[in-house]
C-alpha cells in the first residue's frame, strides 16, 4: 500500500508505521474550487482595509490559541507522518517562535518608506508595501506546521488572503492551523484550506485570481508548479523551497565530541526527512578516524527504532513504503560501488524489508558515491549519511559545492579559541554556494534570517523582513503638493 492513497475524488492518509487508513478528504470540483477562489478575492479586499496593527493583534490572538491546543497536536501529527511523538513538541515550539518573530517585525517591515531626506520643496514621496491578493501556499508533509507558518502568517498580516493546500499525508495540520486563525479573528474566507488532487492543484496555480504561489517540496514538484504558473494567463510570482543535499565540513581544530553529536542529530532527526538534514560530511584527514569511530558509536548506541507513538522512541519510520525502498536501494547501490556500511542492521530488528522502518546507516569509502554517482546527488531523505576524508579547506569547498543543491551548509571549527579559525570560516562561507551557511550548528532555521536556496534548492525568500517583501509589492507615491 502506498501513502497516501488516491481516487479521482478523494485522498486517504495512511499511517506510516502500521499502514492503516487514518483520514479521508474529498476533493472539490473545478467549479467549487473556482468559487472558493472568488470568495477569497472578495474577502481579501475587505481584509486589506483592516489596519495593520489590528491584523497584528489578531496574529497574537492566534499564537495564544495555538499554545493552548499544543497537547492535542502531537499524537495526531505522529499518526499522519510517523515522526516520534517525543519529537513533535519541538516543531510546535518552532512554529510558535517563528510566528512570534514575524509578528514582532511586521510593523517595521510593512511600514511606508519615506524619502523626506531627498524630497524637493513642495514634493512628498514614499514607497508603500501593498498586498498581492490571493496567495496559494502548498505545504509539505515533513514539517507541516513549521513550513506553513513561514508563508501563511506573514501573508495574512500583509493583507493577503490565503488558500492553504496541505500535503495529503498531513491534511489535518492545515485544518488545525486555519481553525485557530479563524478563532483568533481572521475572516473565514481569508484563510481557506483546499484539499486538491495534482490536477486541481495545477488548476489553482493557473487560476488568474491567484496572484502568488508559495511551494515547499521536491524539485520535480517545484518544476510542475513553475510550469503551471508560466502557462497561466498574466504573470504571477512563484516561491520555490525545494530540496537539499546539505554538506558539513569538520576542520582539524573542531571540538570533536560536540561536533560528532550535533552532526549525528543533524542527519538522523526526523529519520533524516528534512530538506536541510545533513547528508554529506567532509572531515579533515587528521581527525577522520576518531570522528568516524565516535559517530558510528553514537548511532549504534543512542537510537531506538520503534513505534513512533511510544515516548521512548527517538527514531521512527520513514513516510512510506516507496520511500523506504528508495532509501534501501540507494544504500545498496553505494555498497555495490565500494562504500562500506558501519552500522549493523541487526541492531535495529524493526527495520525489515516490506516495512517503513529503515535502519540508520553511516557510509564511508564514499568518494565515488558522493561525487560521481548521479543517484547519490539526489536527496536521500532518510537516516543515512556519507563521511569522506579531505586534506584541506580548498578540497572541502570543492566537494561541498559539487551538488545540484544549495540550501544550507555547515563548517565546524574552534572559533571560540582561535581568531584565525573564525577568519577561515568567513573565507569558506564566502565560497560556498548555499542559501545559509552555519558555524558549529546545522539543521536550524532562525526566523530573523532569510530562508532561501540556490541552484536546485529553489528561489525566493521566507522568514526575516525579506519574507514580507516577497508577499507584497512596492507602490511608489509621488506627490507634487505645490503647483504654483
Q: Which residue has the cell 513642495?
A: 122
pLDDT at 71: 67
Q: What Å distances lie between residue 423 and 89, 268, 400, 430, CA to CA?
A: 37, 30, 19, 11
pTM for this prediction: 0.96
Residue 131, preceding peptide bond in cis (omega within 30° of 0): no
Q: Which residue has the cell 497516501?
A: 4
pLDDT at 68: 84
Q: Which residue has the cell 506627490?
A: 479
* Three-class secondary structure of residue 140 per DSSP: coil
Give pLDDT tens digits for 209-260.
Answer: 999 999 999 999 999 999 999 999 999 999 999 999 999 999 999 999 999 9
Rg for the chain (alpha carbons), in Å?
Answer: 24
* Three-class secondary structure of residue 26 per DSSP: strand
- Active-site residue 394, yes or no? no
Give the integer Cα–Cα distance in Å for 174 and 137: 10
Task: Pick the closest to residue 140 from 219, 40, 50 (CA basis).
Answer: 219
At residue 238, what are phi and psi to the nearest 5 degrees? -140, 130
pLDDT at 84: 98
pLDDT at 377: 57
Q: Can you list the pairs that 190-193 forms with residues at least 24 positions away whose Cβ atoms lie under 8 Å?
A: 190/40, 190/43, 190/44, 190/47, 190/156, 190/161, 190/162, 191/152, 191/156, 191/161, 191/162, 191/164, 192/36, 192/39, 192/40, 192/161, 192/162, 192/163, 192/164, 193/163, 193/164, 193/165, 193/166
Residue 199 CB: number of other CB atoms within 10 A?
11
| Catalytically annotated residue among 241, 279, 306, 378 | 241
Residue 417 CB: number of other CB atoms within 10 A?
10
pLDDT at 1: 44
Task: Pick the closest to residue 390 from 411, 361, 418 (CA basis).
Answer: 411
Low-confidence ranges of the chain (pLDDT < 50): 1-2, 368-375
pLDDT at 3: 62
The three grid cell numbers given for residue 351, joined into one nine-digit string:
527495520
Amino acid at each position: 500500500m502506498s501513502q497516501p492513497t488516491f481516487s479521482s475524488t478523494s485522498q486517504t492518509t495512511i499511517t506510516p508505521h502500521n499502514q492503516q487508513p487514518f483520514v479521508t478528504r474529498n476533493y472539490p470540483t473545478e467549479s467549487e474550487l473556482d468559487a472558493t477562489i472568488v470568495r477569497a478575492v472578495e474577502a481579501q479586499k475587505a481584509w486589506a482595509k483592516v489596519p495593520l496593527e489590528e491584523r497584528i493583534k489578531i496574529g497574537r490572538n492566534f499564537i495564544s490559541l495555538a499554545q493552548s491546543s499544543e497537547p492535542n497536536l502531537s499524537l495526531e501529527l505522529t499518526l499522519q507522518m510517523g515522526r516520534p511523538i517525543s519529537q513533535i513538541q519541538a516543531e510546535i515550539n518552532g512554529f510558535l517562535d517563528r510566528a512570534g518573530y514575524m509578528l514582532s517585525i511586521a510593523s517595521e517591515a510593512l511600514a511606508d518608506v519615506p524619502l523626506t531626506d531627498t524630497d524637493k520643496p513642495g514634493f512628498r514621496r514614499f514607497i508603500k508595501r501593498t498586498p498581492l491578493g490571493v496567495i496559494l501556499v502548498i505545504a509539505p508533509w515533513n514539517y507541516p506546521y513549521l513550513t506553513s507558518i513561514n508563508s501563511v502568517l506573514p501573508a495574512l498580516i500583509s493583507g493577503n488572503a490565503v488558500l492553504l493546500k496541505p500535503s495529503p499525508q498531513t491534511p489535518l495540520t492545515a485544518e488545525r492551523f486555519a481553525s485557530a486563525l479563524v478563532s483568533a479573528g481572521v475572516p473565514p474566507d481569508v484563510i481557506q484550506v483546499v484539499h486538491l488532487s495534482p490536477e486541481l492543484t495545477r488548476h489553482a496555480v493557473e487560476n488568474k485570481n491567484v496572484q502568488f504561489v508559495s511551494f515547499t517540496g521536491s524539485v520535480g514538484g517545484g518544476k510542475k508548479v513553475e510550469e503551471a504558473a508560466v502557462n497561466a494567463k498574466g504573470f504571477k510570482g512563484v516561491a520555490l523551497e525545494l530540496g537539499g543535499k546539505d554538506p558539513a565540513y569538520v576542520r582539524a581544530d573542531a571540538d570533536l565530541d560536540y561536533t560528532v553529536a550535533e552532526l549525528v542529530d543533524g542527519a538522523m532527526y526526523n529519520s533524516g526527512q528534512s530538506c536541510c538534514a545533513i547528508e554529506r560530511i567532509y572531515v579533515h584527514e587528521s581527525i577522520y578516524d576518531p570522528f568516524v569511530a565516535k559517530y558510528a558509536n553514537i548511532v549504534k548506541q543512542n537510537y531506538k527504532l520503534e513505534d513512533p507513538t511510544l515516548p521512548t522512541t527517538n527514531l521512527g519510520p520513514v513516510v512510506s513504503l516507496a520511500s523506504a525502498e528508495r532509501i534501501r536501494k540507494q544504500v545498496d547501490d553505494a555498497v555495490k560501488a565500494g562504500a562500506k556500511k558501519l552500522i549493523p542492521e541487526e541492531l535495529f530488528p524493526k527495520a525489515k524489508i516490506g516495512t517503513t522502518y529503515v535502519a540508520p546507516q553511516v557510509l564511508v569509502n564514499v568518494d565515488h558515491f558522493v561525487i560521481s554517482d548521479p543517484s547519490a546527488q539526489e536527496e536521500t531523505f532518510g537516516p543515512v549519511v556519507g563521511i569522506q576524508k579531505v586534506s584541506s579547506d580548498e578540497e572541502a569547498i570543492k566537494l561541498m559545492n559539487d551538488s545540484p543543491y544549495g540550501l544550507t551548509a555547515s563548517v565546524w571549527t574552534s572559533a571560540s579559541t582561535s581568531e584565525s579559525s573564525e577568519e577561515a570560516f568567513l573565507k569558506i562561507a564566502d565560497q560556498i554556494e548555499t542559501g545559509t551557511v552555519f558555524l558549529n550548528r546545522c539543521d536550524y532555521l532562525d526566523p530573523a534570517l532569510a530562508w532561501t536556496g540556490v541552484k536546485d534548492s529553489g528561489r525566493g525568500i521566507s522568514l526575516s523582513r525579506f519574507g514580507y517583501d516577497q508577499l507584497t509589492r512596492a507602490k511608489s507615491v509621488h506627490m507634487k503638493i505645490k503647483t504654483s
